[in-house]
Homo-oligomer: A and B are copies of this chain.
Amino acid sequence: MPQHKNHNPACCCRKIRGFGRRITPARHAVLDALSARGEHLTAEEVFKAASRHYPDIGLATIYRTLELFTKFGMVNKFDTGDDKARYEFADGPGAKGHHHHLVCTSCRRIVDYNDFINEETELLRRTEEGLANKYGFKINTHILQFYGLCKDCAK
């Protein structure tokens, strides 16, 4: 039976149900793992975290669940240049709202920043509009990331 550890069960469950899907312990475990720390976890890391509370969970289920939640907009999937996908909680209480990332290419530390976000958002909105018109695209998302070395890694 579900444990409702860290995420808001009412909200998440309602959403899952809303898409005609079932509530299962595996899905709770994944939501808990992601919402617990608000970090940017790889599938493997979600697997380890979820296994702690629900030892029978399988890695394939982790991937399937993350894919499902991403499709529902409950989770953001992104990439930071190594070749593992990362996931973060995107929606509901505990989520961080739209933001961009600052990534250390050495230790893979990821900083969520909100500085300049208003200015950025405004420019991106205008750019999006202009590109949509000029190139006939229906634009859905964007990704903006800065790469560099964090203080520790810069020596």
- Copies of this chain, complex-wide, total 2
The A interface is mostly helix, strand or loop, or mixed, namely mixed
- Residues of A within 8 A of B (CB-CB), count: 38
Partner of A119, one of B79, B105, B123: B123
Most buried by B among A81, A102, A105: A102
The verdict on A83 contacting chain B, using a C-beta distance below 8 Å, is yes
User: What residue of chain B has the Cβ atom nearest to residue A134's Cβ?
Assistant: B115
The verdict on A60 contacting chain B, using a C-beta distance below 8 Å, is no
User: What residue of chain B has the Cβ atom nearest to residue A117's Cβ?
Assistant: B127
The verdict on A149 contacting chain B, using a C-beta distance below 8 Å, is yes
Given contacts A111-B135, A139-B146, contact A120 B127 (CB under 8 A): yes
Partner of A104, one of B137, B146, B147: B137
Chain B residues with CB under 8 Å of A105's CB are 140
Chain B residues with CB under 8 Å of A102's CB are 131, 135, 137, 139
The verdict on A21 contacting chain B, using a C-beta distance below 8 Å, is no
The verdict on A113 contacting chain B, using a C-beta distance below 8 Å, is yes
Tell me the minimal C-beta distance from A92 to chain B in angstroms.
Answer: 23
The verdict on A10 contacting chain B, using a C-beta distance below 8 Å, is no
